[in-house]
Structure 1
């Protein structure tokens, strides 16, 4: 099997694995409790206008009112006049059609736009526009012009609105484009009809679930099958495909085996590896991946690979294998933003060029837009990968409460010395009778063994007795000094 899509669905969570040659290339996770509302279309009511911020709060029927800035209010493209002040554009109590462009974060409500866009498999429909755009990932100007003309010829004269041609449409047929176009325009007609009957606030359209988006976006010519491990959801996806993506119907099948689907194909093991900092290569080399707020750094090492000829050949082969491994890890972990890859230094210019070409070929399989720069003077490759969703680690993990995400803890000995300094500091301020240390077992054990003499010296220095008590706190950095 060249390309399989595995769909694992439970009431709480949907997980998707995109497989190529039996190896996971992408992992997608969507949880019912944290499903976003970006893309949802509401019939909302203006609750409050803030002229000083040129914004308005719109009631969508959610926990918090959503935020609409004057810059997100749609105006016709041919209008050269500056946007009108929001207090002259909207009024409190007014109803309007809005789409969520940013999920609520913390105490902030969702961000809205009055420019509506509805995504299909090959096209994005813009009912308020009248132009045809093409995805920036299609770089050939001849191909872009051809796609514009093809879509223009398919649009019925009575259809209002514009379209953006998605990257996946590059090799599709006119029949598939027409089917997508008809689906989107029909959906818009139904939304308009629902508006006339709805009482604000009201949810008119909810973006597709992860399972439905897989059917719409991920089924390619080389897809062999889509295996769904839930009978009920398999039936729902079959119904969805029958109406909107009939080309996907032959690939859908229900998996009813006793062994969990992700276990059978080794996906669970790959997810665990994708959460690890280290990635081992078959040759014996390895990658070290560190994800920070600003960027992700990937360091490549030869490890136990010593090669068979000379050092240059060993480095070249390790870098060659690493180039493909890095490209896969970017997709698997969904790493975005600025990424720095530190390949092992190569003396030969031809080796550098070969590695760069192979790296670009491997990255070309990515669905997400990537910009790659060549080697810097320090032997690094810089690239940017568009952030489309949270990384796998951010979805599945949270910072360690002990190290606060730093991946480092103070040693028990360091904590011992901190405690002793604290006791001396407190003894100079207060006339205490005795001191008690409540600390992690590793710390108290150290005080009873290697640092017992140090503890006795401090007790003599302050002239007060010091006792020890073991705490149940799992954090070895946490301690308390109590004095009476």
Structure 2
């Protein structure tokens, strides 16, 4: 599989695209005006303790107070056989929040989830510091290996090595996927770097003030190279000389064996245009996703969850209905896995595949979905088909989806996704006229509205206007204004 990482840098925005076999799979965006805060460590102050929610709100210097749950304060000592990429289980159930923190208490916290929508950032006191090959857990004793490293011999080697490097320090490490096949010296260098970083953080946390940032994660281009660059990545192309120099220096220091794969793109054509990324981004903002067979997906994102509906569309198949449905669902499963990564959809996700009667077909569709999700860097889990034929799954969400990063609520429909029809607005205006005449004295009335609504009233509802004028004993005039949105109107008394 051919994989490339493209880095597009402009003065106020940086974008990183992951392209596999010529097709965009992931897009990461960082803007100077709104940098993400995941991974940052702050000195905070407990603002309010909520016993009913088992949580506290903490002031860390952001626009909104951040959220700290009791389960993110204390951590159950983990056995050395942890398998995650950085997640360590918390006690269940956790102690009462009132026994853990109190209002006014100063506390060192790390952001694990960016502010999303109206919600503040999510915090933890269980600090973790990532490096190229490891995640350092200073408050834990866990020694874990990424589940994506499947070779048992290699897993044993890495676990033993990290255990020796930890040297009974009482601190934990998670071995990342990138560590597979790396020499002992590379992991030893990471351990030394992480210990130095932790010493700096501890010193800073003792002297800094509430609301100050103690530690900040790397900028997006450096994070992308650290987290996404693996042996199967052919090239990293950067269209900024300054960013290229920084990436090159970073790679030579931390991953010299891969540094030669970083290239400075000097072409006249924008790098994202060259690879068709800009077009893919525009398509990722549409609700419908066409499938090659003629079927399509419909993706809806709500506050609570994302839903994906699979339709056969124009695909008729060549054998029978069951075979047509099966083929469509197989293709849809592959597309769903890609769209989740591309759109960065997270939280609860419901997939409504087309109904299938054959249990083997259902198993094959789930296997295809699982295979597609195996390339996802975010943690995912899904369940078998429900009695209603739905697949329920979750995907870890740490930042806003692509749509919410790039778009805002429609000012005309206020996020409903629909507008009132001209007919509905006509009768609404008639009611407003009647209400105004009963409340205030006026000889005549002027209605100002969008051209579409005014045309509807004067051309199709002229008889109704005449009846209303006779009933009220008032003259009603209508004025079209291009500046008025479809649902906007004013009734003026003259």
- Shorter-chain TM-score: which interval? 0.7 to 0.9
Kindly indicate whether residue 197 of structure 2 is the aligned counterpart of residue 187 of structure 1. Answer: yes
What do the CA deviations read for 1:251-276 (whole angstroms, capped 9, x no partner)? 11000100000000000000000000
- The alpha carbon displacement at 1:20 in A equals 0.7
Using the TM superposition, give the Cα deviation of residue 321 of structure 1 relative to its aligned residue in structure 2, in angstroms: 1.4
Could you say which residue in structure 1 is the equivalent of 2:19? 19
The match for 1:126 is: 137
| 1:392 counterpart residue number | 402
For residue 174 of structure 1, report the CA deviation from its aligned partner.
Answer: 3.5
Q: Does 1:254 align with 2:264?
A: yes
Distance in 2 between residues matched to 1:386 and 1:76, nearest whole Å: 21
Deviation digits for residues 411-434 of structure 1 (CA, Å, limit 9, x no counterpart): 112101111122123333334321
2:88 maps to none
Match of 1:289, SS state, is strand
Matching of residues 416-431 of structure 1 within 5 Å: 416-431=426-441
Partner Cα distance (1:213, 1:154) in 2: 25
Indicate which of 147, 155, 164 corresponds to 2:174: 164
Alignment of 1:77-226 (within 5 A): 98-101=109-112, 114-135=125-146, 147-156=158-167, 161-169=171-179, 172-192=182-202, 200=209, 203-226=213-236
Structure 1 residue 107 displacement after superposition: 9.8
Note if contact 2:49-2:102 (Cα within 8 Å) is conserved in structure 1.
no
For residue 437 of structure 1, what is the aligned residue in structure 2?
A: 447
Report the Cα distance in structure 2 between the residues aligned to 1:306 and 1:4, rounded to whole angstroms: 36
Alpha carbons of structure 1 residues 419 and 365: separation in structure 2 relative to 1, 3 Å = same
- After TM superposition, the structure 1 stretch with the greater mean CA deviation from structure 2, 130-139 or 452-461, is 130-139
**Please, what TM-score do these two structures have when normalized by structure 2?**
0.84
For the 8 Å contact 1:49–1:87, the answer to whether it is kept is no
Contact kept? 2:49, 2:103, Cα under 8 Å: no
- For 1:200 and 1:189, locate their aligned partners in 2 and report how far apart those are by CA, in whole Å: 18
Residue 194 of structure 1: how far off its partner (Å): 5.5
Preserved CA contact (<8 Å) 1:183 1:244? no
Measured after TM superposition, the shift of residue 97 of structure 1 is: 5.2
Which of these residues, 231, 238, 263, is aligned with residue 241 of structure 2? 231
1:403 counterpart = 2:413: yes
Pair 1:111–1:358, CA change in 2 (3 A):
closer
Give deviations 1:166-189, integer Å, cap 9, x for gaps.
354456554443332222123223
Whether the 8 Å CA contact 2:109–2:127 is kept in 1: the answer is: yes
Structure 2, unaligned runs of 5 or more: 79-90
1:343 paired residue among 331, 346, 353: 353
Contact 1:436 1:468 in 2 (8 A): yes
Partner of 1:318: 328
| Match among 352, 355, 377 for residue 387 of structure 2 | 377
Helix, strand or coil at the partner of 1:400: coil
Cα shift at 1:151: 1.3
Q: Which residue of 1 is the match for residue 82 of structure 2?
A: none
**Using a 3 Å threshold, how does the CA distance of structure 1 residues 383 and 172 change in structure 2: closer, same or farther?**
farther
Count the aligned residue pairs.
476
Q: Which ranges in structure 1 are unaligned for 5 or more consecutive residues?
A: none
Shift of the alpha carbon at 1:28? 0.9
Check whether the contact 1:289–1:296 (CA below 8 A) recurs between aligned residues. yes
Cα distance per residue 1:428-451 (max 9 Å; x no partner): 333432111111110111122111
Q: Say which is worse superposed, 184-193 or 322-331, in terms of deviation.
A: 184-193
- Provide the C-alpha distance between the structure 2 equivalents of 1:368 and 1:131, rounded to a whole number of angstroms: 21
Q: Say if 1:70 and 1:85, in contact at 8 Å, map to a contact too.
A: no
Match of 2:459 among 428, 444, 449: 449
Question: Offset at 1:102?
Answer: 5.4
Measured against aligned partners, the alpha-carbon deviations of 1:127-168 in whole angstroms (never above 9, x if no partner) come to: 2434424457779999876653331023356x5632233354
| Separation (CA, whole Å) in 1 of partners of 2:407 and 2:16 | 18
Q: CA deviation at 1:40?
A: 2.4
Contact 1:274 1:333 in 2 (8 A): yes
State the Cα deviation string for residues 296-352 of structure 1 (Å, max 9, x = none).
Answer: 111111212222333333222222211111111111111111212122222333322
Work out the CA distance in 2 between the residues paired with 1:407 and 1:436: 30
SS at match of 1:34: coil
Q: Distance in 1 between matches of 2:194 and 2:32?
A: 26
Distance 1:241 1:362 in 2: 29
What is the root-mean-square deviation in Å for CA atoms of aligned residues? 3.6
- Counterpart Cα distance in 2 of 1:309 and 1:166: 47
Distance 2:272 2:56 in 1: 47
Give yes or no for contact 1:70–1:86 (8 Å, CA) kept in 2: no
Cα distance, 1:82 vs structure 2: 7.2
